[in-house]
Amino acid sequence: MGVDTIKEALPAYAKDTRLNLGSVTTTSSLSPQRLWGALVATAVASRNAVVLREIAEEAAKNVSPEAIEAAKAAASIMAMNNVYYRGKHLIGDEAYQSLPARLRMQVIGNPGVDKADFELWCLAVSAVTGCGVCLESHERALIKTGASREHVHDALRIAAVVHAAAVTLDAEAALAGLDPLGTKTARVPWGRGPSVSHQVTASRW
């Protein structure tokens, strides 16, 4: 169970992703807490049930429950912040920059773990969701804490590979006729019932 399960589930055409997943989880400049927190946070952000479940299970063997909760908190708060700050930036009107967010973000100030670790996880999530403003902000904050650019780079590598694994497994599930809950969707001819499809219980993998 864990990362190896994800690697085994990846199809042959995703060999690069499979090998990269092994690389980012075994050869990293990050501490175990930063590594596994980044993996959990980006798995949440990538929104694939298999990837999240397997990474979270292995993370629980390597870091504390508090670290896992903080990693999930990073993914949760950045799901909001990435949309908000990217939206303000993309509008392109400087007048919006002076408007207060009026959104609660207290977990950033009190994440329950080392703040530099939390900043790294926020950066990794921002890479998945593509918020340039947030990436710049968290990168600057990390460098000020003494984190190296190698640490930032490794967080980006983790984000990229976890997202690739999630996208690939989502695609394979869709092609196999499985919905996100792992039930098989069988098509019903149009007009033969109240619904165009019905659910058939099936194992996802």
Q: Which residues form the catalytic set? A: 131, 134
Q: How far apart are CA 180 and CA 3, in angstroms?
A: 20
Long-range contacts of 29-33 (CB under 8 A, 24+ apart): 29/148, 29/150, 29/151, 29/154, 30/120, 30/151, 30/154, 30/155, 32/62, 32/63, 33/63, 33/64, 33/67, 33/113, 33/114, 33/117
Alpha-carbon torsion (29, 33, 35, 38), positive or negative: negative
CA 48, 50, 52, 53 dihedral sign is positive
| CA neighbor of 129 nearest in space, from 159, 158, 149 | 159
CA angle 35, 37, 40 (to 5 degrees): 110
3-state class (DSSP) for residue 201: strand
